[in-house]
């Protein structure tokens, strides 16, 4: 069971539900000018409650299969960000990809550092993972800083890694080793 984590007195990191669809659509709409340079092109329904409901239904099915954990940063009745553990692999790898975004109005408050640390703790203690990995555009200094503050180390460079903003962009690759337990321990 994924328990909510109180990041600050007003911000909670919690598991997403389909009931978050309208608030998530609102968050993307409010912050798209801020997020667009880091995100792939999105269809028009991405910004609607219906589109987000379909997306949440899909990722929650992945959660039920044990391959993803979609977390939201909620402040009062608004969504101000998300952290997702995806492509979770059990067995000898025990790894997940980490992705995250923060709404424009939440930037500069230290929230993503708190959220990534909380997600890493969850990955270690609840999911029993060994490692998290993340990729970050080489020009995304804020995201590099979040990963460095939360114990990630750069392990590589991936040229032409993601097609965002109408071009292939380079990324730096990071990992955080959570523990050295044997699988099943």
pLDDT, tens only, 5-64: 999 999 999 999 999 999 999 999 998 888 888 888 888 898 899 999 999 999 999 999
Specify the pLDDT at position 81: 96
How far is Cα 6 from Cα 8, in angstroms, rounded to an integer?
A: 6
Report yes or no on 159 lying in a domain: no
Specify the pLDDT at position 36: 82
Specify the pLDDT at position 1: 77
How far is Cα 36 from Cα 26, in angstroms, rounded to an integer?
A: 15
Nearest to 81 by CA among 13, 141, 132, 143: 13
Report yes or no on 115 lying in a domain: yes
| pTM, to two decimals | 0.94
Report yes or no on 49 lying in a domain: yes
Report yes or no on 161 lying in a domain: no
Report yes or no on 173 lying in a domain: no
Nearest to 174 by CA among 149, 141, 148: 148
Sign of dihedral through CA atoms 103, 105, 108, 113? negative
Report yes or no on 146 lying in a domain: no
Specify the pLDDT at position 12: 97
What is the number of structural domains in the chain?
Answer: 1
Domain housing 111: 5-130
Contact between 158 and 175 under an 8 Å Cβ cutoff? The reply is no
The answer on pLDDT for 178 being more than 80 is yes
Report yes or no on 74 lying in a domain: yes
CATH at 72: 3.40.630.30
Report yes or no on 82 lying in a domain: yes
Answer with the residue of higher pLDDT: 77 or 172: 172
């Amino acid at each position: 069971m994924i328990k909510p984590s109180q990041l600050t007195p007003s911000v909670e990191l919690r598991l997403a539900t389909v009931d978050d669809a309208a608030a998530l659509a609102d968050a993307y709409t409010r912050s798209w000018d801020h997020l667009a340079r880091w995100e792939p092109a999105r269809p028009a329904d991405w910004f609607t409650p219906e589109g987000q409901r379909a997306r949440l239904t899909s990722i929650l099915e992945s959660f039920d299969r044990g391959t993803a954990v979609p977390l939201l940063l909620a402040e009062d009745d608004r969504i101000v960000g998300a952290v997702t553990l995806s492509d979770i692999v059990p067995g000898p790898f025990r790894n997940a990809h980490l992705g995250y975004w923060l709404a424009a109005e939440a930037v500069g408050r230290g929230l993503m550092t708190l959220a990534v640390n909380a997600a890493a703790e969850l990955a270690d203690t609840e999911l029993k993972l060994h490692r998290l990995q993340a990729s970050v555009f080489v020009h995304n200094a804020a995201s590099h800083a979040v990963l460095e503050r939360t114990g990630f180390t750069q392990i590589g460079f991936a040229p032409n890694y993601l097609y965002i903003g109408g071009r292939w962009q380079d990324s730096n690759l990071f990992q955080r080793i959570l523990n050295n337990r044997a699988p099943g321990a």
